[in-house]
């Protein structure tokens, strides 16, 4: 391995030969900030993208917005989501906005087609076009609008880095991760929200605090527990039909909280062990990040959601005729 290169975590096999290899880094932390396991460069800054949403959702609870607007557990899961744009997701966003006296136009995330092909086809067959509520981040944005209103801030421009809501979220990220996000390189996520490049290990530490909130202030520890219960009770709201996050949490219950991010990022919390996990695939491939996270979860949480995780840890490749021609699987010896 060349100096500075991350290790190969995932291989793609076709027949009896390796066709592709995916390098990456992964870190497992406890809430004291100790690296329990690590592969590759866990100190390299990465944009966590949507993998950090369950931590961002703490602002919804800590500002009093959830109580003021009667946010349900399903809506709290939706605030942590990257959803498919299925009817259940879109209808929930509309209902939430309506309680706040707002419409789709208040969302600053832009519109895109539903991720789920069947939902997109049904929408177009009905002669409808995608709205901002179909955006996979619309639940997070509804939560940020609620926080703005609860804080007494102008909801317009809530996605700007200098808005009180984004400053509050940035402070929460800093406190949970142990990394000063005010000094971090800032980018803009696909939905328009600021995203901060921070060490992969700091993302794992934030997730460790979700897994083990005993060192947090009582109010924040309570908020963490509510988020964990919400996503475990409503995994469909976190992603949707056929999605990794939903399938794993539906099988694992409260034993695993897992969240995808764009460009090959994944994060997870293991409450039973008090551990947080973060990984990043160098080339941004989702097929590799799902395989790597599944393999790591099987290693760290034996006996939990074995069938669901196993389907991703060794995922078959099929050709257009449906014939199995290979598989995506963890590299030899990893993560043992």
Q: What is the pLDDT of residues 204-236, one digit of tens each?
A: 999 999 999 999 999 999 999 999 999 999 999
- The structure's pTM equals 0.95
- The reply to whether 72 falls in a domain is yes
- CA separation (Å) from 22 to 8, 90, 189, 200, 289? 6, 35, 24, 17, 9
Cα distances (angstroms) measured from residue 218 to each of 54, 59, 151, 204, 274:
18, 15, 21, 21, 17
CATH number at residue 291: 3.40.710
1 has pLDDT over 50: no
- Mean predicted confidence (pLDDT) in 241-247: 98
The tens digit of pLDDT for each residue in 254-295 reads: 999 999 999 999 999 999 999 999 999 999 999 999 999 999
Q: Position of tokens 């909280």?
A: 257
Express each pLDDT in 151-209 by its tens digit. 999 999 999 999 999 999 999 999 999 999 999 999 999 999 999 999 999 999 999 99
Asked if the model's pLDDT at residue 239 lies above 80, the reply is yes
List pLDDT tens digits, range 42-99.
999 999 999 999 999 999 999 999 999 999 999 999 999 999 999 999 999 999 999 9
Q: Output the six-digit token pair for 65.
A: 């917005």
Inside any domain, residue 3: no
Whether the pLDDT of residue 3 is over 70: the answer is no
Residue 1 inside a domain? The answer is no
Res 336: pLDDT? 82
- Give the pair of three-digit tokens for residue 153: 């801030």
Task: Kindly state whether residue 44 falls inside one of the protein's structural domains.
Answer: yes
**3-state per-residue secondary structure call for 39-72:** ECCCCCEECCHHHHHHHHCHHHHHCCHHHHCCCC
How much of the chain exceeds pLDDT 70, in percent?
Answer: 99
DSSP assigned state of 103:
-
How are the residues of the chain apportioned to helix, strand and coil, as percentages rounded to the nearest 5? Answer: 45, 20, 35
The per-residue pLDDT for 131 is 95
Domains contained in the chain, number: 1
Q: 335 lies in a domain? A: no
**Phi, psi for residue 239 in degrees, rounded to 5:** -150, -75
* The predicted structure's pLDDT at residue 4: 73
In a domain, 336, yes or no: no
Q: Write out the residue range of the structural domain in which residue 240 sits.
A: 8-330
User: Is residue 167 helix, strand or coil?
Assistant: helix
């Amino acid at each position: 391995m060349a100096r500075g290169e991350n290790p190969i975590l995932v291989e793609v096999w076709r027949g009896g030969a390796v066709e592709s290899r995916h390098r990456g880094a992964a870190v497992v932390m406890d809430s004291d900030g100790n690296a329990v396991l690590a592969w590759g460069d866990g100190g390299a800054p990465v944009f966590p993208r949507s993998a950090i949403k369950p931590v961002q959702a703490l602002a919804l609870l800590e500002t009093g917005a959830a109580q003021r607007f009667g946010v349900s557990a399903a809506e709290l899961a939706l605030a942590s989501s990257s959803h498919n744009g299925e009817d259940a997701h879109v209808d929930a966003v509309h209902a939430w906005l309506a309680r706040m006296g707002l419409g789709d136009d208040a969302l600053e995330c832009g519109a895109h087609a539903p991720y789920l092909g069947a939902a997109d086809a049904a929408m177009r067959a009905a002669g409808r076009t995608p709205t901002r509520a179909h955006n996979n981040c619309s639940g997070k944005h509804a939560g940020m609008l609620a926080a703005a209103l609860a804080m007494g801030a102008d909801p317009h421009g809530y996605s700007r880095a200098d808005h009180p809501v984004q400053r509050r979220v940035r402070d929460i990220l800093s406190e949970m991760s142990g990394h000063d996000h005010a000094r971090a390189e800032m980018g803009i996520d696909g939905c328009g929200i600021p995203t901060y490049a921070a060490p992969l290990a700091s993302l794992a530490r934030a997730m460790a605090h979700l897994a083990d909130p005993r060192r947090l202030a009582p109010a924040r520890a309570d908020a963490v527990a509510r988020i964990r219960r919400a996503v475990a009770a409503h995994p469909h709201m976190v992603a949707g039909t056929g999605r990794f996050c939903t399938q794993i949490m539906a099988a694992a219950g409260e034993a695993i909280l897992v969240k995808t991010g764009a460009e090959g990022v994944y994060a997870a919390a293991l409450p039973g062990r008090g551990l947080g996990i973060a990984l990043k695939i160098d080339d941004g491939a989702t097929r590799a990040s799902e395989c790597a996270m599944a393999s790591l979860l099987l290693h760290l949480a034996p006996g939990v959601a074995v069938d669901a995780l196993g389907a991703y840890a060794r995922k078959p490749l099929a050709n257009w005729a449906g014939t199995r021609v290979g598989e995506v699987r963890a590299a030899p010896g990893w993560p043992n």
